[in-house]
């Protein structure tokens, strides 16, 4: 067990609930492996205490915080600064201590991108389909624009919501080389083109305990998918992933995204660079936890 002393820097997660989190595994293992005097915990914060929690964390000289649901947008009002990507996304999951307050970052989407790079999936100039049109889908969309995806299709049951985030995203896209469309599942399937897509499942459908469902259960959808990412990590294989694999595509869950968003936060707090070998070691530990 790690020794904690008067010089130990504290980091932690705020949200509600937080008891299920795997983040302490990531950060405490990183600190131990890299010889950094840092300890990471989880703090459940009630809905009416979010601002107090941020002010209190700063007053207590806490080095940095992660933020999980339902506070990723709520915390923005309590920050002294915000990273441009986090501002575009409209959500913050990492707070970094600076002079005068915390600066907010979104490491979820850089974490997803780093996970994709780890898996050898390059989205530059690629065709990508996003399932969903909520906050996570919006964040994925901003990341895809920033990283140079060529064609992005937002597929959602409520087409109006898909069009809403499409219109917002076009403010940041390069209209000459990036195409963004919003369609229904039926429209996507009926498209007669022979294009192959990277698919990102950005809804909570299929998460434990409701493991026998997917936002799209039509096999024809998966015939267009060469690689699929489900941002859920429990269960380890979702129905979405199973259907991707059954159609011949490669499928991945959200565990590596969780790992890398934590690693990027740790790097922001400490200035250390985490190697792929160490990342893989922690990934195995997370799988066995």
The set of catalytic residues is 72
Whose CA is closest to 124, among 193, 198, 183, 182? Answer: 198
Q: For residue 34, what is the enclosing H or E element?
A: helix 23-34
Residue 217 burial class via C-beta count within 10 angstroms: exposed 0-12, middle 13-18, buried 19 and up: middle
**For residues 132 and 203, what is the distance between their CA atoms, to the nearest angstrom?**
6
116: tokens are 């994709």
Rg (CA), the chain: 19
Q: At what angle do helices 135-146 and 159-169 cross, to 10 degrees?
A: 40
Q: 203-214 burial by CB neighbour count: b if 16+ within 10 A, else e? A: bebbbeeeeeeb
């Amino acid at each position: 067990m790690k020794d904690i002393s008067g010089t130990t820097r504290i980091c932690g997660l705020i949200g509600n609930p937080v008891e299920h989190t795997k983040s302490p595994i990531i950060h405490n293992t990183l600190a131990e492996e890299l010889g950094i005097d840092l300890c990471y915990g989880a703090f459940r914060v009630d809905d009416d205490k979010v601002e107090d929690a941020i002010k209190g964390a700063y007053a207590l000289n806490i080095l940095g915080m992660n933020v999980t649901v339902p506070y990723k947008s709520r915390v923005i009002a309590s920050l002294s600064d915000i990273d441009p990507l986090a501002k575009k996304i409209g959500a913050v999951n990492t707070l970094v201590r600076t002079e005068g307050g915390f600066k907010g970052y979104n490491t979820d989407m850089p974490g997803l991108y780093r996970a994709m790079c780890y898996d050898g999936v390059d989205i530059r100039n690629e065709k990508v389909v996003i399932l969903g049109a909520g906050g996570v889908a919006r964040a994925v969309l901003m990341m895809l624009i920033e990283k140079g995806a060529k064609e992005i299709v937002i597929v959602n049951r409520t087409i109006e919501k898909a069009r809403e985030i499409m219109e917002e995203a076009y403010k940041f896209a390069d209209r000459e080389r990036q195409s963004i469309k919003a369609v229904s599942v039926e429209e996507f399937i009926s498209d007669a083109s022979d294009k192959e897509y990277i698919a990102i499942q950005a809804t909570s459908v299929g998460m434990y305990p409701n493991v026998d469902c997917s936002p799209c259960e039509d096999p024809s959808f998966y015939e267009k998918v060469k690689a699929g990412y489900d941002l859920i990590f429990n269960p380890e294989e979702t129905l979405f992933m199973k259907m991707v694999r059954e159609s011949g595509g490669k499928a991945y869950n959200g565990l590596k995204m969780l790992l890398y968003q934590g690693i990027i936060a740790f790097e922001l707090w400490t200035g250390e660079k985490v190697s792929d070998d160490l990342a893989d070691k922690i990934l195995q530990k997370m799988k066995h936890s």
